[in-house]
Amino acid sequence: MDAAVADARSRGTAPAERTRPSRGRLQSILTASTVALVGASDNSRWSLTAHAALTGYGFPGTLFLVNRRGAPAHGRETSTSCVAIGRPIDLAVCIVSAESLPDALRDAAAAGAKGAIALASGFGESGAAGRQAQADLVALADELDITFFGPNCLGFLNLVDGVSGWASPPPVPDPEPGSIALISQSGGIAIQLGRFSAKHGIRFSHVISTGNEAMVDAFDVARTIVEDERVRCIAMFVEAIGDAQRFDELTARAAELDKPIVMMKVGRSALAAEVIASHTGALAGDDALIDVALRGAGVIRVDSLEELVVTAGLVAGTGRLPAGKLGVVSISGGACDVVVDAADTFGTPLAAFSEQTQARLRETGSAYGAAHNPLDVTGAAVGGPQLMTDAVEAVAADPDVGIVAIVDVLPDGDLQRKPSARLTALGEAISRVDKPCVVIHQVTQDLTDDASRSTEAIGVDHRICGIDMAVKAIGGAMRWSEWRPRPIDAPTARIAIEPRPLSEAEALELLSAHDIPIVPRRLATNADEAAAAAVELGYPVVVKVVSPEILHKSDIGGVALDLGSEADVRTAFARVTSAASAVAGARVDGVLVAPMRSGGVELIAGVVRDPVWGLALAVGLGGVWVNVLDDSSLRRLPVDEAVVHEMLGELRGRSLLEGARGSKPADLARLAQVIANLGRLALALGPRLESIEINPLRVDGAEIEALDGAVTWS
């Protein structure tokens, strides 16, 4: 078993081996009609805040309080246990210690509960003893047929149904529900995101904290909630992704329902991954591959907490954007400069106004300067609101524009501030155009609830504070709107091959048998055969030792380059075979003799098995450059030729393949086919394949050939 997988399972972060909670079970927990607050006490801060959450969102069901001594709490009578309530309960919100949690689960299950919230910490995040305690808790819950969120979590708020299982200060001050489901492994982050959203007029349908995810993880919850027709977008704060299959199921279903997923996946650095492991017991995973997986599944990945909420608020409101780029109308010329820089930084495409649009802008008088994008209507719009509204309507009508950003001034945090006459006129103009419009305040600021409602009332539905934030969020919305699932057929037949160490000669034969061109070569078992092969192939030649146990031949002196005579070949044969014979346990089968190649571009193409994501293909500049330039592109398998074309286009060194500095342009169609064939071969080799690599893959115009190959098995 892979060490990383074994470690993940010991932490409880690779839950695929146990039965996942059904969507029906999770839905019944999230819509519980009878809730017991276990550990209720006026002396407990957690009890006070949990009670406030349970009663503050219009819960239509019945709430019971449980105190083992029977002492009154929060002005109400209590029961000494869940069983003592005398009627079945659906959900137990357990604000008890880690030591008391097993008994609390037994009591809740005896009272009929199928769900529980486990607030207590001191489990998987706290070392070996805690991981064992967490595993024991899961085993107990399985035996009792009860499903708990956590441990080390704050629970959930179901705002659309008024149901709370939240064990902390309420994160959302306004009980009015929205259409965004917020799912966060971190409860503290969920609280802050809830408060931030309230200050920006963004409302949630659900707020859910999953904590250590011993039984229920973020993807279980998301897969349940995505089916709710009242939910239009899922926003996720994720510290670890432990199961690629369920990630794929979620994102595929979200795509079918046309619901965007916005995700902040932390743990980009090695240090961050260590911090996550110490905090929740979760493994963060390789970030480059995670980034590829998210992008390939249509997930909008964000880099900050604020961006998570703002982007989710935008895509939940606009839905899929019409085709086109960003058109900008601004009351400030300086803001136009900021927009351009932000668009370049974040890859948000700006529209090029047509001649008709430019003429229309000049006719209306709204183009005081050049009639280009972004458009500066200048401060003249303060005294003449018609200038701004005319500009918005003209820009929205441009065929290259899919969404309009309007840089203006939103009401600030002062309760007395109301929308200006200009903003009111702007709301009317927005209602007349057939493309989504976003009003952007130039700097980040809070919006009071009154300010949000008043701008909504005049037709300004989409508001973002901060130009950089807005341009990046719009770019994310545009990429999701353009993304479509692209199913790729994977090989169904397996290649019958014994998973044993392969020499380079055997690896090249395997590649050649699957439409991957390889360099001409001869296997020589003695110096005479090596000399004859060199004459046949033509000098200069390369001599490389052949041994299944030696993958990195150069490291042990097993390669001789640029040999120009028979004497050189004979000497090289003796030297490389002698070096290989000194390697303990290595079987030496002879040497490979091949022509010495020069010119062209050397690439590396390889497939490796990740413990979470499965087989992944990497393509980059190879040979001596592979560790120097760090220029590569990644994709999960399967891939086809179109995907490989995209990968080649992502390389910083792609100009070398396009004929830079007078070199031959590569046959990109054939190159993409060869690399796609490598991916198909990797899939066909079965689950024991650990890696397969070509380095280098030489490309010289239409000439493409593998110069070296290696295969390893788990």
**Residues 217 and 242: beta-carbon distance below 8 Å:** yes
Residue 7 has pLDDT above 80, yes or no: no
Distance CA 464, CA 523 (A): 67
Query: Which token pair is 610?
Result: 């990740």
Q: What is the mean pLDDT of the segment spanning 110-135? A: 92
Query: Which token pair is 465?
Result: 């504070």
Q: Among 15-19, 20-24, 67-71, which is the least confidently predicted range?
A: 15-19
Q: What is the mean pLDDT of the segment spanning 262-285? A: 55
Distance CA 261, CA 653 (A): 32
Instruction: State whether 102 and 231 are in the same domain.
Output: yes
Instruction: State whether 80 and 25 are in the same domain.
Output: yes
Q: Where does a domain end: 578, 595, 612?
A: 595
Amino acid 31: pLDDT: 97
The overall average pLDDT reported for the chain is: 88
Residue reference for tokens 């299982």: 165
Segments in 67-100 forming alpha helices (H): none
510 within domain boundaries: no
Instruction: Name 375's Cβ contacts closer than 8 Å, sequence gap at least 6.
Output: 327, 328, 329, 330, 336, 353, 361, 366, 367, 391, 395
Amino acid 354: pLDDT: 94
pLDDT in tens, 474-490: 999 999 999 999 888 88
pLDDT in tens, 454-465: 777 777 788 889
Q: How many domains does the chain have?
A: 4
Amino acid 513: pLDDT: 93
Instruction: State whether 107 and 219 are in the same domain.
Output: yes
Instruction: State whether 588 and 632 are in the same domain.
Output: no
CATH label of the domain that carries residue 201: 3.40.50.261
Instruction: State whether 309 and 266 are in the same domain.
Output: yes
Q: Where does a domain end: 595, 621, 641?
A: 595
Environment class of 696 (CB within 10 Å of its CB; exposed 0-12, middle 13-18, buried 19+):
buried
CATH label of the domain that carries residue 553: 3.30.1490.20
496 within domain boundaries: no
133 within domain boundaries: yes
Count the Cβ atoms, other than its own, within 10 Å of residue 337: 14
pLDDT in tens, 33-64: 999 999 999 999 999 999 998 898 889 999 99
Which amino acid does the sequence have at 126? S
Greater model confidence, 308 or 494: 308
Residue 565 has pLDDT above 90, yes or no: yes
Residue 139 has pLDDT above 50, yes or no: yes
506 within domain boundaries: no
131 within domain boundaries: yes
Cα separations (Å) of 693 from 430, 640, 645? Answer: 55, 18, 19
Rg (CA), the chain: 31
Residue 159 has pLDDT above 90, yes or no: yes
Which amino acid does the sequence have at 205? S
Instruction: State whether 162 and 260 are in the same domain.
Output: yes
pLDDT in tens, 675-688: 999 999 999 999 99
Instruction: State whether 586 and 650 are in the same domain.
Output: no
Instruction: Name 530's Cβ contacts closer than 8 Å, sequence gap at least 6.
Output: 524, 543, 569, 570, 572, 573, 591, 593
Amino acid 268: pLDDT: 63
685 within domain boundaries: yes
Instruction: State whether 581 and 648 are in the same domain.
Output: no
310 within domain boundaries: yes
Amino acid 283: pLDDT: 40
**Residues 523 and 590: beta-carbon distance below 8 Å:** yes
**Residues 234 and 254: beta-carbon distance below 8 Å:** yes
Instruction: Name 430's Cβ contacts closer than 8 Å, sequence gap at least 6.
Output: 392, 406, 437, 459, 460, 461
pLDDT band at 149 (very low <50, low <70, confident <90, very high): very high
Amino acid 551: pLDDT: 84
Instruction: State whether 571 and 610 are in the same domain.
Output: no
CATH label of the domain that carries residue 654: 3.30.470.20
Q: Among 86-95, 417-426, 591-600, which is the least confidently predicted range?
A: 417-426
Q: Look at strands 62-66 and 115-118 and give their pairing.
A: unpaired
Instruction: State whether 325 and 295 are in the same domain.
Output: no
**What strand order describes the sheet that includes 91-94?**
62-66, 34-38, 91-94, 115-118, 147-149
Q: What is the mean pLDDT of the segment spanning 336-356? A: 95
Amino acid 511: pLDDT: 95
pLDDT band at 413 (very low <50, low <70, confident <90, very high): low
Distance CA 92, CA 114 (A): 9
Structural domain of 213: 3-315
Q: What is the mean pLDDT of the segment spanning 406-426? A: 73
Instruction: State whether 631 and 540 are in the same domain.
Output: no
Distance CA 708, CA 582 (A): 22
CB environment 559-582: b (16+ within 10 A), e (fewer): bbeebeeeebbbebbebbbebbee
Query: Which token pair is 291?
Result: 């980034």
218 within domain boundaries: yes
pLDDT in tens, 514-562: 999 999 999 999 999 999 999 999 999 999 999 999 888 988 999 999 9
Instruction: State whether 446 and 461 are in the same domain.
Output: yes
Q: Where does a domain end: 554, 573, 595?
A: 595
